[in-house]
Copies of this chain bind each other. A is one copy, B any other.
Amino acid sequence: MPNIQTMADAIRFLAINAILNAGEGHQGVPLGMAEIAATLYANHLRAAPKDPLWPDRDRVVLSNGHGSMLLYALLHLSGYDKVSLEALKSFRTLHSVCAGHPEIEQDAGIEITSGLLGQGIASAVGMAVAEERLAARFGRDLVDHRTWAFVGDGCLQEGMGQEAISLAGHLHLGRLTFLWDDNRITDDGETALSISEDIPARFRAAGWHVLVVDGHDIVAVDAAITAAKTDPRPSLIACRTTIARGIPRLQGQRGGHSAPLTSQDAEEARAARGWSHPAFYIPQEVYDDWHGAMDRGAQARTDWSTRLAVHPESEEFTRWMSGTLPDGWADALPGPCMEPRATIMSSGDVCDALADTLPETIVLCADLEAPTNHKRSRAAFTPENRSGSYLHCGVREHLMGAMAYGIAAHGGLRPVNVTYLAFADYERPAMRMAALMALPTTFVFSHDSIGAGSNGATHQPVETLASYRAMPGMRVFRPADTVETSEAWQIALETPDGPSMMALSRQDAVQVRRDTSKNLTRRGAYILAGSEQNRDVTLIATGTEVGLALHARKTLEALGIKTTVVSMPCWELFEVQPHSYRLQILGGAPRIAIEAALKFGWERWLRYSDRFIGMTGYGASARAPQLYQHFGITEEAIVAAAKEMAEQ
């Protein structure tokens, strides 16, 4: 039998040593949750530190990410090679695997970047969904793991955390367990300063299994985890804890959270806990207990490998888990369309075609099934049907975004997130996480401009494109028509190094492309009509405004003004083209950029004397055609500007 109390104290002192060594850090969580974590690892967790990427491992999420030394101590003690003692000594320094907050590095055992409060538990819901969906497809022989999340008070105060509670309960995600560090202290002091909610009752209202225990009572924690594993509901283990337990000066105090530690604190802790070892020293018998606990996972992994080797679906399973696309998958992408069609509908066509071809796609939508039209032949993922590949997320965009990247981090599925572009702001922090972690996630947005119509300015994005073009690692597509929409999807799915988003129209878009022999969207921008060399004016447009530019071109050509139209569906892809290509496309002639959004950022592609036709502020409530007239985004305006510029 392992000595769990000593295992816990090993966490405690590694945390104290590393924080003292770094000169800063948050001791509250690792010291307060040491017994909880040690019990989980000693008796329950199934992981294989020597094969950190084993697909059927339990997933562990540290949602209270400031307590990162809890995770690093756990990973070190259980034998993840990359989290060496040296790594712990480099805590919070440049290039260390032990960053201030956990940053995804799955081969070191860090499943996901914790991010700001709330992100962790929301992404954990995504992981638990992925597990169920994969188990439904491949069976429990191959997919049989759990998701454990360490949770602080802040995560539960955040709205996204509340969304996570609500949806996880609704979906009966029985393999999801939250270990709540109920220490009654936040950064400001007593939690009572800002919350007086009955948190167990709140979870019960959402259909959770709730257990309340003393978080330092190893037997009680162990029994609660055992109960959580057998209950069909998601479980909250509410662990009453003492923050920074073990440091006499700080335990149970506001300063327990992250007040600077002194060497005297370390000495007093050693005395208080009866820990006689020097800094960063862990006795071999303690390591033995930790490593012995990992035998459970190692054995499970061996058994699993044996099953996989003879499994009839092993090839397909491996394909899903590796994110490999099947040969010829792109043949399923719809070709050109002869009629005008809203690009959100063209995207729905793609998504529907992929339901069979890429069954690993899973669509998440925030209560906008009808107007976004991405469900179609897909069944809903429900407690009764885990094979469904369409998840009704409710009006919970922030959770949805985090679930999407959580699913991507879990591996095996390809998440597609669908809502209106106006709601992109609601999930922006989650989208930033996907970009920061470079996780392949596809964010599909409809109603991308004043084209949304008379729901009014609150529902009409004007600055949203710019705000995402400003976000590193996010590819922003605004395709012009059916063909460009298919091309954008192809790029998004073929590109594993980060997320893509698509800004799509509610209103019909003119078809501007027929030829699909080459994916022109890959280069970010290209000449759609007119000559490269011989031009009087260049019109650069995105999305629905490309059709407008083509119309204007007809008029201008009739007036003898040689007009070249550039479609620019993706700035990020255009930016990485060779300088010579960019010059070739943009040309030396006067330029007019046309986009039903703000100019902000367009200066990158325009010179001082060039023009921009678009929005200058918020939208208004009227039908789309009237709004285009009202805001002067019209063929007439383009023609007038082009004439003026060509004459100069």
Complex CA distance for A395 and B426, rounded to whole angstroms: 16
- State A380–B116 Cα separation when bound (angstroms): 25
**Which B residues are CB-close (under 8 A) to A630?**
94
Binds B, one of A296-304, A311-319, A615-623: A615-623
Q: A617 and B472: CB pair below 8 A?
A: yes
Closest-by-CB residue of B relative to A397 is B158
A408-450 residues with Cβ-Cβ distance < 8 A to B are 422-423, 425-426, 428-429, 432-433, 436
CB 8 Å contact bits of A133-169 with B (1 = contact, 0 = none): 0000000000000000000011101111111001101
Residue from A154, A157, A167, A601 having most chain B Cβ neighbours under 10 A: A157
Map CB proximity to B onto A605-624 as digits: 1 under 8 Å, 0 otherwise. 00110000000111011110
A365 → chain B closest CB, angstroms: 8
Name which residue of chain B comes closest to A463, CB basis.
B470
Residue of B at shortest CB range from A164? Answer: B159
Chain B: minimal CB distance from A440 (Å)? 17
Among A197-205, A338-346, A556-564, the one that faces the other chain is A197-205
List chain B residues, Cβ under 8 A from A93: 454, 621-623, 626
A205 touching B196, Cβ below 8 Å: no
The answer to whether A455 and B196 touch across the interface, beta carbons within 8 angstroms, is no
A392 sits at the interface (CB 8 A):
yes
Known: A94-B626, A157-B166. A470 touches B466 (CB 8 A): yes
Instruction: Report yes or no: B395 in contact with A454, Cβ–Cβ below 8 A.
Output: no
**CB-nearest residue of chain B to A458:** B115
| 5 closest cross-chain pairs (CB), A and B | A159-B159, A194-B394, A162-B162, A99-B621, A603-B603
Task: Determine the distance from Cα of A194 to Cα of B391 in the docked complex, in whole angstroms.
Answer: 9
Q: Report whether A204 and B207 are in contact in the complex, using a CB–CB cutoff of 8 Å.
A: no
Contact partners of A471 in chain B: CB under 8 A: 463, 467
Which one of B195, B392, B458, B620 contacts A114 once the chains associate, using CB atoms below 8 Å? Answer: B458
A380 to B192, CA, bound (A): 12
Interface locus among A324-332, A366-374, A530-538: A366-374
A426/B467 contact (C-beta < 8 A), A158-B396, A621-B103 known? no
Specify which chain B residues have a CB less than 8 angstroms from the CB of A365 in the assembled complex: 188
Query: Which residues from B are CB-within-8-Å of A453?
Result: 100
- The answer to whether A593 has its CB under 8 Å from any CB of chain B is no
Contacts of A607 in B (CB 8 A): 608
CA distance A398 to B118 in the complex (A): 12
Task: Tell me if A184 counts as interface (CB < 8 A to partner B).
Answer: no
In the complex, 22 of the A-B residue pairs with CB atoms within 8 angstroms, ordered by the A residue number, are A93-B626, A94-B627, A95-B620, A96-B621, A99-B621, A100-B621, A113-B458, A158-B163, A159-B162, A169-B196, A193-B394, A196-B207, A198-B205, A201-B201, A425-B428, A425-B432, A466-B601, A467-B470, A470-B470, A470-B600, A472-B616, A603-B604
Inter-chain contact A170/B187, CB cutoff 8 Å: no
Does A473 count as interface, using CB distance less than 8 angstroms?
yes
Q: How far is the CA of A517 from the CA of B461 in the complex (A)?
A: 41
A101 proximal to B (CB < 8 A): yes
- For A367, list chain B residues within 8 Å (CB): 154, 157, 186-188, 194
- Bound together, the chains give a CA A615 to CA B357 distance in angstroms of 41
Question: How distant is A268 from chain B, measured CB to nearest CB, in Å?
Answer: 23
Q: Which residues of B have CB within 8 Å of A380?
A: 193
* Cβ-neighbour of A459 out of B96, B116, B467 (below 8 A): B116
Given contacts A367-B194, A458-B433, A466-B470, contact A394 B157 (CB under 8 A): yes
Beta-carbon contact of A92 and B454 below 8 Å: yes
A197 touching B188 in the complex, CB below 8 Å, given contacts A472-B598, A603-B603, A618-B436? no
